[in-house]
Every structure is written in C-alpha cells, then in structure tokens.
Amino acid sequence: MKRSAPTPREVGFGSDAPRIRAAKRRSPDAAFAAIALAALAAIGAALVSQHRFGMEPCPWCVLQRLIFVAIAVAAVIGLVWRRATGHAVAAALVFLLALAGIAAAAWQHFYAAPSASCNLTLADKIINGLGLDALLPDVFAPRATCADAAVSLFGVPYDFWSLALFAVLALAALTVLLRRRVR
C-alpha cells in the first residue's frame, strides 16, 4: 500500500498543541491578575465612596479593605512565583483570605450594623494593632460607627456587595487550586 505524504498537521505545523499548552500555563496568571485587579477595584470603589460621596467607613469596612489588600498581594505572589507550588500557595492564601472577608462582611451586616457602637470589636483591635489607621488614615482609619456606615448601593447593602466579591474571589482561587490538582 502506498503511503501519502504527511499533512502539515501531522508534521506539527498548524497543530493546536503548543497553543493549548501555553494557554494552560497562562490560565493561573490570568486568574491571579483578575483577582488582584478585582481586589484593587474594590478598594478603589470604597475610597471613592468615602472621599467623593461621604460614606465614612466603620472598623469592619476598614478590615474588609485590609483583606482586599492582602488578597491583591497574595494574587501578585501567584503571578511572581511561577511554579506549581507558588500557584497553589497563592491560591490557598486568596481562598482563605476571601473566606475571612466573607465572615467579616456577614458579621458586619448581621451583628455590627444593628449595634450602636462597634468600638473595641475584633476589627477595631486588628486595625489599631497593625497601626494602619495612623500610617494611612485616609484609607484605614475608621470614621463612623457600624450603624452609621450601613449604606446601600442600588438597594443592596455595601457589605453584601463586598461579600459577593469575596465569594467570587474565593471561587476563582478554588478554580486555580482544582486545576492544579487535576494535572
């Protein structure tokens, strides 16, 4: 039987394999970049709300800002530490920090916001203990009580917007972790 000449695809020209392998390598990078940008956008939105529209933050709001900063830093670690171990560590950090953010947002809404004062709560102790309120007061200084800081955007409380973004970030980190385990 006479064999025909190999096609370009059989030789490797036009093969999708290199492109697919490159896309698989980039997918954690894209996820970490999106996570970092989303976390920084949340901080930006909070700062615009505070400085442009007068929505002063309570200690729980400030704690959530700090968690978003930590998530952005963890995502950058995932972008810089380009090994499987680095991606796993960064994704695990983002996941755990996002869970902490979900807990903080839920606590703010269900327990702190109905109270007249959120002075000396866990959030207040963390912010004061780190000294961030003195170092960067325009970003990390609580300026309102939890009851006063309970505001809404499009009828949805700010803490629920924050909770939803933390949940999305947790799912993105979990996706990176699960993709790493499958390979």
DSSP state of 153: E
Would you say 101 and 53 are in contact if contact means Cβ atoms under 8 Å apart? no
Looking at the whole model, is its pTM more than 0.85? no
Q: How many domains does the chain have?
A: 1
Whole-angstrom CA distances from 89 to 33, 85, 177, 183 are: 15, 6, 9, 16
Q: Which tokens go with 178? A: 């699960």
Is the pLDDT score of 73 beyond 90?
Answer: yes
Structure confidence by residue, pLDDT tens digits, 3-46 = 666 665 555 555 555 554 554 555 899 999 999 999 999 999 99
With a pLDDT cut of 70, the percent of the chain lying above it is 79
Note whether residue 15 is domain-resident: no
Structural domain harbouring 92 = 28-182
List residues bridging with 153 in a β-sheet.
Answer: 156
Question: Can you give the C-alpha Rg of the chain in angstroms?
Answer: 22
Note whether residue 169 is domain-resident: yes
Note whether residue 23 is domain-resident: no
Average pLDDT score over residue span 104-125: 79
CATH at residue 147: 1.20.1550.10
Note whether residue 14 is domain-resident: no
